[in-house]
Chains A and B, each alone.
Chain A
Amino acid sequence: MVVFAMKTDVDALAAACARGETEAFDELFDALRGPVFNLAFRMVGNEDDASDICQITFVKVYEKISNYDSRYKFFSWIYRIAINESINHIKRNARSSPLQGDEPTSAHAPDTICHGHELGVLMKDALMRLPHRRRALVILRHFRGCTYREMAGILDLPESTVRSELYTARQNLQALLQAAGAWPC
């Protein structure tokens, strides 16, 4: 499975980086810049802020590589940093209004938006209206392919909380898409 291969390679690169091997940080950056950038982008909703968060995340990894415990998956550690930085950014900028404000709306009839670009846009809007923790869970599960256990580790939550919050987040998403006329497809 692709995700597993990525995790294994990244762990090896992180260990090499900590040992001081040549170009390990560069390779680590190349392997993870896409996932970390996309995670941040889904959390904050715009590319410029995601780029800033991604930059901060990698600089923190660079500084704190000695704190990384190689018994754990490296991606869990870097995702945790990226999510924390994203939440800090959202709080600082107070741009997010979880489950408040106008519902996402569509100019098209529901049967024309169940697939393709517009549903993606509405899904992004709906995602941005979720509370931070639920948003992070949806992103980790659906966009980064994390298991319940991995999400629990990344967000430092009991697995039972991960499950109940993720289920509620999906209900929230369906309700928001339904209000936008884009659900059920």
Chain B
Amino acid sequence: MLDQETFVGLVHRELDGELTGDDRELLHRVLAQDPDRREFRERLQRLHKALENVPDVKPPMSLRGKVMAAVVSPRPREAARGGRDITDIKRMVAHRGLPRLAYPLAAGFLGLAVLAVWWLGTSSTGPAHEPATASGTMGLSLDGGRLLDEASSSLIGLTARAGLYRTAGEFTLLLEIDAPETVEVAITCAPSDCAVREFSWLEGGTDGARFAAGRITATVTGRAILNTSFSASSRLWTIDFKSNGVSRGSLFLTAESGTGERGKPARGVSDGR
């Protein structure tokens, strides 16, 4: 007579497809003689069936953009289809082992250097952008826009949340920050032909904010809400936070195809994630 522990093991292995020929024969002999053990096997088989019937969940469309934005800044034409070229792959292999945010930060520093000339000539605090409104303690909403993507995080030393909206012929990005200590914020769009149209502070902020080409930089202390708009050619946004020159983290937003088809009616940026 087969002891219960061995029997249970044989049934599990059979249903898992891991039973060998001899053991299968033994199990079937035991099952043929014992209705209680047949019942045990049937219940376990039903559990297997029930687990098989749990459907898979579709990953969010924004996942590709977030991963690609985190690992490397795509080239303009590649960004539209989410791909990269051989140069990017070589860069990846040559520099593997660097910290996770090394590439976005390096790209950010490079962008800073290139854009420094621009900043000298084009520093401005842009005009107010009318459609945006702010309400509640940590809630954002945009009249007349469709929410395309959102991101939020309690980063080291600050809380930040951002919502990307499709508006007539462009994109609007609302960024809410609550920073107990001074933090430097840099919003960079991609691909390279994207452009900042205008920006304004809905709450808080400083006069020292600058924008040029596809980048906005600002310094924030306390609570602030930044309202920005970008050209229709924009696809990816990276928002980097630093304090005392040290990175505190990043948020990523994507417009995917940029057509707004995955957009949802405008609503407050959700709490938490």
Contacts and interface: CB of A to CB of B under 8 A. Distances in A.
Interface in B92-115: 92-93, 96-100
B86 A22 contact: yes
Contacts of B273: 48-49, 52
Interface string A123-143: 110000000000000100111
Chain B interface, >50% SS class: helix
Given A26-B84, A55-B67, A174-B47, A120 B54 contact: yes
Nearest to B13: A163
Interface stretch (B58-66, B164-172, B182-190): B58-66
A141 B16 contact: yes
A86 B96 CA distance: 23
B66 A142 contact: no
A115 B49 CA distance: 10
Contact of A22 (B46, B82, B89): B89
A158 B105 CA distance: 42
Contacts of B54: 120, 123-124, 142-143
Contact of B82 (A26, A34, A37): A26
B53 A120 contact: yes
A22 B93 CA distance: 11
Contact of B63 (A55, A64, A120, A143): A55
Contacts of A25: 71, 84, 89, 92
B70 interface: yes
A138 B86 CA distance: 39
Interface residues of A, number: 53
Contact of A148 (B18, B57, B82): B18
Contact of A167 (B8, B50, B59, B82): B8
Interface in A81-114: 114
Interface string B19-60: 000000000000000000000000110111011111111111
Given A66-B97, A148-B18, A123 B51 contact: yes
A9 interface: no
B83 interface: yes
A39 B82 CA distance: 23
A154 interface: no
B59 A54 contact: yes
Interface size grouping (class) on chain B = 35 or more
Interface string B115-141: 000000000000000000000000000
A170 interface: yes
B12 interface: yes
Contacts of B8: 167
A54 to B, nearest CB: 6
Contacts of A52: 273
B268 to A, nearest CB: 16
B70 A59 contact: yes
B92 A20 contact: yes
B59 A20 contact: no
B55 A120 contact: yes
Interface string B71-90: 10000000000111110011
A29 interface: yes
B70 A64 contact: no
B66 A55 contact: yes
Interface in A10-68: 17-26, 29, 33-34, 37-38, 41, 47-52, 54-55, 58-60, 62-66
Given A34-B56, A41-B57, A120-B54, 6 more contacts: A29-B64, A49-B273, A51-B60, A51-B66, A54-B67, A59-B70
Minimum-distance CB pairs A-B, first 5: A37-B59, A48-B273, A142-B51, A20-B93, A62-B71
23 contacts: A20-B92, A22-B85, A25-B89, A33-B64, A48-B272, A49-B273, A50-B57, A51-B59, A54-B59, A54-B67, A55-B67, A59-B70, A59-B71, A62-B71, A62-B92, A63-B97, A63-B99, A120-B55, A142-B54, A148-B18, A163-B12, A163-B13, A170-B44
